[in-house]
Amino acid sequence: MSDLAAYLAAAALLTFSVYRLSTDRRGGPNQVQRYGYCLMICLAAAMAMLAPATPRLMADAGVDQVAVILLGDSVRTAAISVLMFLACAVAGRPARGLPVVAAAVGQAAGITLFLAARPAIGPDDALVVHGAGRWLLAGHDLVFAGYAAWSLAAATAAFAREARRAGPGPVRTGIRLSLAALAVGMVWTAWTVDDVVHVLRTGIQDGSEDLVSNALGALCAAFIVAATLVAKWHAGYAAVRDRVHTYLVYRRLTPLWEAIRTELPQIALEDDRRLLFSGRSLDFALYRRVIEIHDGRLALRPYAPEHEPGRGRGPDTAPEADRGADRVVRKAEREAYRRADRGADRGAEPDTDREAFAEAASIAAALENRRAGRVGAPGAPVRHTEAARTVAVEAAWLAEVAAAFTRVRKSSDFPSSRPRTRSGS
């Protein structure tokens, strides 16, 4: 399990970094990106070399296991140096002076202490040291832990400043995922203290990473890849999100559109469901559905009731033929005001809900009047004020009307809520 976590994380980091380097050749990656890709490559190499199975496999090939472990430690230290250079690049300052000196000293001190400890391979492929070698190997671990903690702290401070400056969006999300990776790195580094204590007490240290270390490394790798994906592929994600949103709005319009088309089949062109499975055609399908609903509303104007919610006449003055439709409109109006008042308590816009219910009730009553052959108010204006708006805005409004229309049609006082068989077309 430990080997699998290490190899999968290493493969993900290496594959992604190489892919990004190959696709960034046109414009060339900037300094932050170059350090980021280099960090991923170094981490991938270190995790692969320090996986428990790797030293054994190399020993079968005739390579000294101690040399493999030392090389893996050196590459891991190099990854920490690259992380410090990345922090400098994010902070907008050149990677020179103290960071370069610290990288050279940390690498040299780590190798020197490891070789001076003269570790040997013992049972279970662990490193075994004797006498003063315990202190030297523990010093090697402490040098790495201290250097890693310093680099991680510098990177965390640099990314935290960028997160505060960045506005809402994919850049801030990518930075926050990077901070999550650094937090996991902190825990991963703190786990080194366990090696220090163990080697001082027993003179034995696992030559490769244990299960906890590899699990933390895999989690850190996942956050790093996710941070890069969010920043680089946000446009593709936004396109998919917009397409799904368009389709959902299209489906929300279906009850209203089907009710109008059933009564006025001439408003609809021949249905072509292939429109829903290609890029621009989905937008066109939504546009066509909006236009067809508007055509139906215009065709229903002669059948719309004279009663205007909130300003209409009383039931005693309405013609007998129109009272049923007026009753539906007034009931829908009362429901709209109740829902709007509840929505206002939650900070919602009450007028939008009222207008949607009023429009839905007017359409429902007009459909019923047309079925019964009753003419309401010839030439009555469409209840909702028409304005020059985008298709997206108009579709969103009609989706609210469609939802209200479904609730109005469920009213027990509305006889056309049950399907009716039409004779002819």
Q: What is the distance between the alpha carbons of residues 326 and 98, in angstroms, rounded to a whole number?
A: 82
User: How confident is the model at residue 322, as a pLDDT?
Assistant: 45
Any domain includes 318: yes
Closest CA to 418 of 361, 371, 358, 357: 371
Q: What is the distance between the alpha carbons of residues 209 and 214, in angstroms, rounded to a whole number?
A: 6
pLDDT per residue as tens, the chain (425 positions) = 557 777 888 888 888 788 777 766 555 557 777 888 888 888 888 888 888 788 888 888 888 888 888 898 899 899 899 889 988 888 887 777 888 898 899 899 989 998 998 888 877 777 888 888 889 988 988 998 888 889 899 989 988 888 888 777 777 788 888 888 888 888 888 877 878 888 888 888 875 566 777 777 778 878 887 777 776 666 666 777 788 888 889 889 988 888 888 888 888 776 555 555 555 578 888 888 888 888 888 888 888 775 444 444 344 444 444 444 455 555 555 555 555 455 444 444 445 567 777 788 888 888 888 887 777 554 444 444 444 467 778 888 888 888 888 887 776 444 444 444 443 33
Any domain includes 206: yes
> Are 123 and 227 in a shared domain?
yes
> Are 387 and 410 in a shared domain?
yes
> Are 72 and 91 in a shared domain?
yes
User: How confident is the model at residue 300, as a pLDDT?
Assistant: 85
Q: State which of 174, 205, 232 marks the end of a domain.
A: 232
Any domain includes 351: yes
Domain assignment of residue 193, given as a range: 2-232
> Are 97 and 222 in a shared domain?
yes
Token output for 94:
């050149």
HSE, CB side, 13 Å, CA atoms: give it for residue 134. Answer: 10
Any domain includes 372: yes
Any domain includes 422: no
Closest CA to 47 of 228, 187, 178, 218: 218
> Are 140 and 219 in a shared domain?
yes
DSSP labels, 275-295: GGGSHHHHHHHHHHHHHHHHH
DSSP labels, 138-160: HHHHHHHHHHHHHHHHHHHHHHH
Any domain includes 424: no
Any domain includes 105: yes
> Are 257 and 216 in a shared domain?
no
Distances (CA, A) of 343 to 337, 352, 359, 362, 373: 10, 10, 18, 22, 37
How remote is the C-alpha of 361 from its chain's centroid? 38
**171, burial (CB in 10 Å: exposed 0-12, middle 13-18, buried 19+):** middle
Any domain includes 67: yes
User: What's the CATH number where 184 sits?
Assistant: 1.20.1070
Q: What is the distance between the alpha carbons of residues 222 and 44, in angstroms, rounded to a whole number?
A: 12
User: How confident is the model at residue 388, as a pLDDT?
Assistant: 42
HSE, CB side, 13 Å, CA atoms: give it for residue 3. Answer: 6
Q: Please state, as a whole number, how many other Cβ atoms lie within 10 Å of the Cβ of residue 424.
A: 3
> Are 332 and 356 in a shared domain?
yes
> What is the biggest distance separating any 2 CA atoms in the chain, rounded to whole angstroms?
108
> Are 250 and 225 in a shared domain?
no
Q: State which of 214, 232, 250 marks the end of a domain.
A: 232
Q: What is the distance between the alpha carbons of residues 51 and 69, in angstroms, rounded to a whole number?
A: 10
> Are 331 and 220 in a shared domain?
no
Q: State which of 199, 232, 265 marks the end of a domain.
A: 232
> Are 282 and 354 in a shared domain?
yes
> How many domains does the structure of the chain reveal?
2
Q: What is the distance between the alpha carbons of residues 420 and 64, in angstroms, rounded to a whole number?
A: 86
> Are 313 and 384 in a shared domain?
yes
> Are 255 and 208 in a shared domain?
no
Q: Please state, as a whole number, how many other Cβ atoms lie within 10 Å of the Cβ of residue 248.
A: 10
Provide the residue count of the chain: 425
Q: 3-state secondary structure string, 35-83?
A: HHHHHHHHHHHHHHHCCCHHHHHHHHCCCCHHHHHHHHHHHHHHHHHHH
